[in-house]
């Protein structure tokens, strides 16, 4: 297993903000970056050395790309399995294609969690209307119906509040396979962003606390407010998931935390995650650099936090009336601005984020929220 050293080229499937921040870290360390996605002038492409714009199904283009890079990783988990397999004929791909296959589909992911006894939200597999009736009866209401594939930020999700809503909800699936989940009355949502290298070494950023608005991450801060027991359990679950998957790269395990201290895995993200963006400004090694080190066979870096930190997402909504007032948001010198280079600001679209460090979590959260409000002044 040779190490991939600086000046080598890292191939990245996907071209969004995660790839952009990965590319920034890779270029900082003297690597070249080649991004592959169907789009042009993308957040990743703008900072990469090379940008291929081709469909993921265009296997000739995929093979050409794979031949031109030294290792492949991804920032987008919905890359088709065939694409990853075609690339893997020529070059090593991390995390492995099988992991992508498992985590890009809620049913496969939940089946994996169940099989290995990881705590997870109770669920049922839905193929027919009858399945849905039975599942609602056994899990109770409210329940959450989610399409098995291509879901993120609450997309493809419906809340079912009563049996009377079953037929309508089933129709909206339009024939797509789905899972029904019990609705979890959680106290808070937390995540563990971690990394595992090719030798099996593991590093983590502790527990990060996440607040969502309309199913989209709004604010993250670290460290999360939770007991030492919950902290240790969450990290141990993440470590065990990474090991069971024989994971290489940065992984995020998202949890629901109940008032009784019980942790349930909501989702796995086989890549750097929005809740880990704050590691860019607050840690010795960011989640993106960690991904780079892991896939290149370099030692993982320190995950130490310089200070408590908070992150606020910037959605397209804030462009609705006028260009945000950037100077105003940056009045406080502890605030950092990240914009992803997306030209069109659509409602709900992640356009950038702000991070703030503070002496306490409360101070960091207050600073980042004030900065975001100041954008609109």
Which residues are at the interface with ligand AMP (CB under 6 A)?
121, 144, 151-152, 154, 181, 183-184, 189, 212, 215, 266-267
CB of 358 to ligand AMP, least distance (A): 25
Select 8 or 266, whichever has its Cβ closest to ligand AMP.
266
191, 206 contact by CB (below 8 A): no
- The region, left, alpha or beta by phi > 0 then psi within -120 to 50, assigned to residue 300 is beta
317, 329 contact by CB (below 8 A): no
CB of 106 to ligand AMP, least distance (A): 7
Select 92 or 189, whichever has its Cβ closest to ligand AMP.
189
Rounded Cα distance, 177 and 186, in Å? 26
Half-sphere exposure of 20 (CA within 13 A, CB side): 17
Cβ neighbours, 10 Å, residue 188 = 15
Select 217 or 354, whichever has its Cβ closest to ligand AMP.
217
Select 253 or 351, whichever has its Cβ closest to ligand AMP.
253
Select 47 or 180, whichever has its Cβ closest to ligand AMP.
180
Select 274 or 367, whichever has its Cβ closest to ligand AMP.
274
CB of 38 to ligand AMP, least distance (A): 23
Rounded Cα distance, 177 and 174, in Å? 9
CB of 36 to ligand AMP, least distance (A): 25
| Residue 149 DSSP label | B
Q: Which residues contact 171 (CB under 8 A, 6 or more apart)?
A: none
CB of 70 to ligand AMP, least distance (A): 33
CB of 267 to ligand AMP, least distance (A): 5
CA dist list (Å): 215 to 45, 153, 317, 348, 372: 28, 6, 15, 10, 19
């Amino acid at each position: 297993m040779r190490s991939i050293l600086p000046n080598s080229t890292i191939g990245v499937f996907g071209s969004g903000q995660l790839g952009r921040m990965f590319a920034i870290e890779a270029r900082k360390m003297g690597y070249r970056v080649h991004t592959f996605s169907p789009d042009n002038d993308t957040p990743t492409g703008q900072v990469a050395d090379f940008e291929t714009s081709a469909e993921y199904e265009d296997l000739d283009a995929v093979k050409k790309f794979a031949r031109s890079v030294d290792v492949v990783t991804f920032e987008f988990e919905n890359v088709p399995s065939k694409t990853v397999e075609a690339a893997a004929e020529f070059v090593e791909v991390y995390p492995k294609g099988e992991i992508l296959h498992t985590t890009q589909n809620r049913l496969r992911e939940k089946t994996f969690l169940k099989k290995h006894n990881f705590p997870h939200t109770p669920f049922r597999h839905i193929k027919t209307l009858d399945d849905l009736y039975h599942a609602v009866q056994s899990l109770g209401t409210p329940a959450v119906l989610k399409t098995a594939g291509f879901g993120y930020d609450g997309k493809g999700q419906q809340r079912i509040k009563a049996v009377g809503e079953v037929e309508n909800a089933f129709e909206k699936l339009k024939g797509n396979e789905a899972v029904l989940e019990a609705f979890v009355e959680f106290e808070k949502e937390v995540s563990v962003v971690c990394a595992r290298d090719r030798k099996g070494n593991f590093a983590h950023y502790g527990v990060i606390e996440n607040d969502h608005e309309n199913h989209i991450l709004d604010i993250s801060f670290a460290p999360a407010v939770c007991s030492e027991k919950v902290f240790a359990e969450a990290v141990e679950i993440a470590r065990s998931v990474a090991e069971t998957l024989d994971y290489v790269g940065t992984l995020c395990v998202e949890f629901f935390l109940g008032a009784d201290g019980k942790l349930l895995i909501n989702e796995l993200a086989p890549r750097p995650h929005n809740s880990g963006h704050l590691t860019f400004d607050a840690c010795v090694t960011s989640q993106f650099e960690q991904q780079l080190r892991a896939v290149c066979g370099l030692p993982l870096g320190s995950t130490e936090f310089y200070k408590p930190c908070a992150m606020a997402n910037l959605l397209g909504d804030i462009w609705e009336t006028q260009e945000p007032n950037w100077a105003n948001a940056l009045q406080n010198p502890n605030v950092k601005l990240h914009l992803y280079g997306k030209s069109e600001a659509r409602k709900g679209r992640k356009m950038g984020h702000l991070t703030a460090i503070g002496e306490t979590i409360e101070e960091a959260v207050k600073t980042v929220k004030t900065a975001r409000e100041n954008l609109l002044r």
